[in-house]
Amino acid sequence: MTAALFIVLIVTGACLYVPQLVALVGRRALLVRIHVDAGLALPVPLVASFLGPWGKALRADVRRLNRWSAAERRWLRMLLRREPVSRLALGKFNAGQKLMAAFTLGVMGVTLMTGCIMRWFYFWPLSWRTGATFVHDLVAYIFVAAVIGHVLMAITHPRALRSMLTGRVSREWAQRHARSWLEEVEAGGGESQQA
């Protein structure tokens, strides 16, 4: 649901930002309404997934995302130097995935706040409204670029894409890319996500 809302926001935002696109649609007020409603709804699936007994796995993943091991810091340094990183014993998430998760959560917060200032502008001074518009647009551009990169990475790594769609990975993949997490699962200390 979060991905679907992001897609709606990207498409409606592009239509609102590019005059030729809004001319094709022809109903700017409707696009604004859909964009605002999707933006306000964006945190709902995440919050609903996090709360209650059904959110146990997500809460465990959030704890994992908040902890950085020495191997993950080394992974990031090696990646930046373009060295092979497959020999490191990583957890369920590598440093890039952790950075993307933090970035996405930050984008949600910043665009929600700036979008509220833009939508309910009469509560805010002009300088805030101007700044909110600039920040909202800038963050949206950066996020769209990150989404395009994310999609390209998923397309070029079909096994990773399959795992995103199914929520499962093979033992061989886990051994190669998330050895520390595999050891945790096999020891009974984590949820099993084996195919």
The pLDDT value recorded for residue 116 is 93
26 found inside a domain? yes
What is the domain range of residue 17?
A: 1-51
40 found inside a domain? yes
The pLDDT value recorded for residue 21 is 85
The pLDDT value recorded for residue 190 is 54
The pLDDT value recorded for residue 172 is 85
6 found inside a domain? yes
- Using the structure block, give the residue that is written with the tokens 């917060």: 109
42 found inside a domain? yes
181 found inside a domain? no
Q: In terms of Cα–Cα distance, which of 152, 154, 158 is closest to 170?
A: 158
Instruction: In whole angstroms, give the CA distance from residue 119 to residue 75.
Output: 41
Query: How many separate domains does the chain show?
Result: 1
The pLDDT value recorded for residue 195 is 41
183 found inside a domain? no
100 found inside a domain? no
Instruction: In whole angstroms, give the CA distance from residue 195 to residue 94.
Output: 20
How confident is the chain (195 residues) per 10-residue block, as mean pLDDT?
Answer: 92 89 85 94 90 85 87 84 76 85 92 93 90 94 92 86 84 83 78 48
The pLDDT value recorded for residue 95 is 84
Question: How far, in Å, are 12, 14, 21, 22, 23 from residue 18 at the CA level?
Answer: 10, 6, 6, 7, 9
The pLDDT value recorded for residue 80 is 83
